[in-house]
A and B are shown apart, each in its own frame.
Chain A
């Protein structure tokens, strides 16, 4: 009986020692998974996921605090890629979230009073202007997050869907009707 206890205790001690050493030796400083998740997120910084930006959302996913289906700009495709990365089943976008075609904010320059509120709201500094000067959106930089629409006191900002041109045009998925063979 004593021998059995000693054997098991010895085993436990040795293994515990090895594991303890390993946990120090292989300590993970920061979770690099966050970077990988962040790379998939579309970086609109729109906050529709309920987090104040893409990086915080990525951190939350990594910790398992947030679901993968909270990002409407990424759409089903984004959810699918997150699912693939994390090895879980893809699922539809969460309640009340809906994927919209990519758009940019446009300021009606006749109405703008130059209050700079939209500039403060823009998460990527895509609006240029100064106090009491007319503001304008740099369309190449705009992520279409809509965060500037609400703060505008004179409602002079609206979203415009980006139209396809010959560069962004994509070949469509070939639509073929497979012939029924008897």
Chain B
């Protein structure tokens, strides 16, 4: 659905550009904007995931039983693309173990479980002197403080705030478009904390050396627009209302709408001199720099079929079940939870999973707003999806080849430019879950990439091993030759090496000892088993004994270690 509008005029007559495609799903925004942002009450227990951002997970630096304070680093960043993880309150670490996390797979991931002591004592928080700090030191500090993009991709912010050696980033865009239906956390944040967001933006601008700061807000949020414009009055930050069209909040789409700069295929917006940050990220940067507080909380929209849909300021690690309860709890007739919005979100498998930096919305479904999807029908090649695609791809071709597992072809149709916005699935008259196919194809391609890397590593190591063995053989031969010539010289010939015999005897003793140890060990998990299982185990043991006794006399596999 091409909007077809002539370029709309922004607040100060800025020329706006229309990106291709896009859809107009029903917003349902008013559902959760009626109440101000409320802080969640302190919970008795927090489950802090160590992988909350893109890249390497943080490494736990706390022990079980250790006391931690609010804002204390509990996960140290590992590798370059990684940020720190912090305790959301004071308390005691009770476990570091895999727990359910909000992830489409429903798999568990390593979390630090903290029992709150109710005192909520914080570590000493010192504001950062960002004006005078060395840029690299400031970025490192932000890395440690756990700052990551709160718009959904959770990419470590310190990397995005690095303008690079040569790269010029003249334009900084604050993304307040929030195009996904139902979600209002950025909207409410802009209404209530506009000046703080702008303070954060100033730090960003300073770090990037950007000349221009634009704030893009969809025009279905007049209150947020007004608040931001008011806060920005007198400064050169430009607050621009952009047309409401999904996915107008995509980084590349917003960049095009505001500047007319097209991000190249497989590129980033920085390739065209634009860096985009979510308003929530700017707010958390403000807290980090001006208050010295690491990223330990975020605003989350809890909406849909709940008692009082609203936005909550939630500490990271709060179990989602508690968060839903704080918003009035699920109403009867709820049919499950979605993390994120209806277009790009995924189903939550377990409500005990915690809020992470990536979770901007918990959406409780019901049958009225989320009827079961009709069964898909064959593709009729109508081309609606291509008209709706904001990345100007050909979704029907991608589908055609992804369905046939022809991943090379999907890549030649620019699969990786797909932002998985779901517009194509939304308009598909055959109800084909197109995005699921793209996600399938992408993860298969990634898996292959991983396999290939593993194979390359193995090849390299194997080749080195062959080289090493040959070298050793050669060295040994040389040594032997030398020895032989020496012996010839001395005339003494050793008949048998007593040392070797001694070694052999020692080894045999060690094997015997290990065998006895193995027989003596009772597996740990055989207590309180039902009788039939016990019997089964006994039978297996008996068979093993028998085998061992028959094998014993003719044990030809006596080891001969490197002699």
Contacts and interface: CB of A to CB of B under 8 A. Distances in A.
Q: In their complex, do chains A and B touch, with some C-beta pair under 8 Å?
A: yes
A166 B107 contact: yes
Contact of A178 (B377, B457, B461): B377
A25 interface: no
Interface stretch (B224-232, B485-493, B511-519): B511-519
B328 to A, nearest CB: 30
B506 to A, nearest CB: 9
B465 A125 contact: yes
A166 B99 CA distance: 12
Interface string A143-182: 1000000010111100000001110111111101111010
A178 to B, nearest CB: 6
Is chain A's interface secondary structure helix, strand, loop, or mixed overall?
A: loop
B428 to A, nearest CB: 12
Contacts of B558: 153
A124 B107 contact: no
B310 to A, nearest CB: 29
Given A113-B510, A173-B440, A165 B433 contact: no
Contact of A113 (B104, B375, B377, B511): B511
Size range of the chain A interface in the assembly:
35 or more
Interface in B444-467: 444, 446-447, 450-451, 454-459, 461-465
A86 interface: no
Contacts of B405: 173
Contact of A116 (B101, B447, B562): B562
Size bracket, chain B contacts: 35 or more
B95 interface: no
B507 interface: yes
Contacts, number: 121
A162 to B, nearest CB: 11
Interface stretch (A4-12, A15-23, A42-50): A42-50
A66 interface: no
Interface string B410-440: 0000000000000000000000110011011
A113 B463 CA distance: 28
A174 B374 CA distance: 14
Nearest to A154: B514
Interface in B149-197: none
A38 B561 contact: no
B465 A124 contact: yes
Nearest to A54: B459
Contacts of A141: 457-458, 461
B557 interface: yes
A151 B511 CA distance: 13
Contact of B442 (A111, A131, A168, A171): A171
B519 to A, nearest CB: 11
A42 B451 contact: yes
A45 B107 contact: no
A154 B517 CA distance: 10
Nearest to B461: A124
A38 B458 CA distance: 12
Contacts of A168: 447, 450
A174 B521 CA distance: 47
B375 A179 contact: yes
B78 to A, nearest CB: 13
Contact of A131 (B377, B440, B468, B561): B561
B107 A181 contact: no
Given A44-B458, A115-B507, A124-B462, A176 B376 contact: yes
Contact of B375 (A111, A166, A172, A177): A177
A116 to B, nearest CB: 6
B255 to A, nearest CB: 27
Kindly name the residue among A53, A155, A173, A174 whose own CB sees the greatest number of chain B CB atoms within 10 A. A174
Nearest to A163: B107
B546 interface: no
B234 interface: no
Contacts of B446: 170
B439 A171 contact: yes
B552 to A, nearest CB: 13
A54 B458 CA distance: 10
A117 B559 contact: yes
A156 B109 contact: no
Given A165-B109, A176-B433, A124 B104 contact: no
A53 B439 contact: no
B378 interface: yes
Interface of A: 38-39, 41-45, 53-55, 110-117, 120, 123-126, 131-132, 141, 143, 151, 153-156, 164-166, 168-174, 176-179, 181
12 contacts: A42-B451, A110-B521, A116-B561, A117-B559, A131-B562, A151-B559, A154-B515, A166-B103, A170-B443, A177-B375, A179-B377, A181-B377
Closest 8 pairs (CB-CB, A-B)? A43-B455, A43-B458, A171-B439, A169-B105, A170-B443, A179-B375, A174-B436, A124-B461
Given A120-B562, A174-B440, 5 more contacts: A165-B107, A171-B443, A172-B440, A174-B437, A176-B433
